Structure 1
Amino acid sequence: MDKEKSITVLNSFIIINNARIKRYKKASKDTEKSYLKKVFTNFQITSQRCKTELKKEIIKLGGTPVEDRTHNRSIHNFWFNLKNIFIHKDLNDVLYSCERNETIVMQSYYEAIYNNFGSLSNKQQIMLNDQYLLINVDHDKMKSFQSAF
C-alpha cells in the first residue's frame, strides 16, 4: 500500500464531504420548511462525521488532511451566489437539486473506492464503504422527499 496515494484518495473524500456540507447549508437557506431544515442539518452531520473519520485516518498515515478550499473558488462562488439572488427556488427545485447532488456524491464515492481499491487498506475500504452506505441512506431519504412533492 502506497501511503501517499492513500492520503491523496482519503483527502478526495474530505473534499467531497466539504462540498456536500456546503450544499446542504445552502439548501437549508433555500427552504422555509422546518422539517427539511432539520433533515438538511442531519445530512451535514453525516458528512461532518465522515470528515472526522477521514482526517483521523490521514493523520495516522502521517499525512495532512485538506482544509475546506471554498475560498479558492471565490469568483465562482460570487457568480453562483449572485445568480441565486435573482432566481427564485421553489421547494421542488431545492429537492431536485439536492437529489441530483446526492446522486453525484454517491457516484463519486463509488468510483473513488473502485478506482483506488489497491491503494487502500482493508480497514480504509471498510470505512469508505460504511460512509457510502450512510450517505446512501441520506440519498434514499432525499429521493423519497422528491417523490412526495
Structure 2
Amino acid sequence: MENEKLVSVLNDLLTKNYDAEKGYKEAGEKIEHTSLRSYFEKQAENRYSFGHKIKEMIVKYGGTPDKGTSIVGDLHRTWISLRDAFASGDKAIYDECIRGEESFSNEYGEVLADDVLPPDVREMVTMQKDSVDKALASLRTMEGFAA
C-alpha cells in the first residue's frame, strides 16, 4: 500500500475515532444509569487513546493527522444520530451506541481486509478492532440498565 493511500485510510479511522470519542462523551453526559455512564466515559478515553496511536502511525508514514470530527461532513458517520437519540431517554442512547459500535467494528474490519497493510499498522488496527468488539460485547450485556 502506498503511503498516501495508507495515510488517507488512517486519517479516516482517526476522524471516526474523534466522532466516537465525542459521541461517548455526549452519551455519558446524558445517560441516567451510572454503570452505563461509567462505560461511556471509559470508551471515550479508549477512543482518545486509539486516536493518539493512529496519529503516531500517520506521522510515521509521512502524513499529517487530520484534526477534528466529521460532524459537518458525511452524515453516515457512526455517531451523528446519537444526538437525536438523547431526547428519547437511556434506551435510545443505548441503542444508538450499539448501532455505532457495530458500524465501527465493521469499518475496522474493512480496513483489515486490505492485504497490503504494513505489519505494524495491521497489528494496531487489529488490537483496536478487538477492543471495539470486546466493548460491544460488554455493552450488549448492559441492555437491562437502559430499559
Verify same fold: TM over 0.5: yes
The structure-2 alpha-carbon separation of the partners of 1:123 and 1:99, relative to structure 1 and needing over 3 Å to count, comes to: same
Distance 1:61 1:108 in 2: 21
| 1:43-95 Cα distance to aligned partner (Å, 9 max, x none) | 0111111110010111111210011134645xxxxxx79956xx732221111
The reply on whether 1:88 has 2:74 as its aligned counterpart is: no
The reply on whether 1:143 has 2:140 as its aligned counterpart is: yes
Provide the identity percentage.
Answer: 21
Residue correspondences, number: 139
Per the alignment, residue 129 of structure 1 pairs with: 126
Runs of 4 or more, structure 1, over 4 Å off, are 80-84
Tell me, yes or no, if the aligned pair for 2:24 and 2:43 is still in contact at 8 Å: yes
The 3-state SS of whatever aligns with 1:88 is helix
1:53-72 alignment, distance < 5 Å: 53-70=53-70, 72=72
The structure-2 alpha-carbon separation of the partners of 1:109 and 1:71, relative to structure 1 and needing over 3 Å to count, comes to: closer
Tell me, yes or no, if the aligned pair for 2:105 and 2:133 is still in contact at 8 Å: yes
The structure-2 alpha-carbon separation of the partners of 1:81 and 1:127, relative to structure 1 and needing over 3 Å to count, comes to: closer
One-letter identity of the residue aligned with 1:136? D
Per the alignment, residue 4 of structure 1 pairs with: 4
Per the alignment, residue 26 of structure 1 pairs with: 26
One-letter identity of the residue aligned with 2:18? N
Tell me, yes or no, if the aligned pair for 1:28 and 1:41 is still in contact at 8 Å: yes
TM-score by length of 1: 0.83
Counting helix residues as a fraction of each chain, which structure ranks higher? 1
The structure-2 alpha-carbon separation of the partners of 1:141 and 1:71, relative to structure 1 and needing over 3 Å to count, comes to: closer
RMSD of aligned Cα (Å): 2.2
TM-score by length of 2: 0.84
| 1:106-129 Cα distance to aligned partner (Å, 9 max, x none) | 111111221x332x2011111100
One-letter identity of the residue aligned with 2:123? I
Unaligned regions of 5+ residues in structure 1, if any? 74-79
Per the alignment, residue 104 of structure 1 pairs with: 103
Question: Displacement, 1:26?
Answer: 1.7
Distance 1:82 1:35 in 2: 20
Between structure 1 and structure 2, the one with the greater Rg is: 1
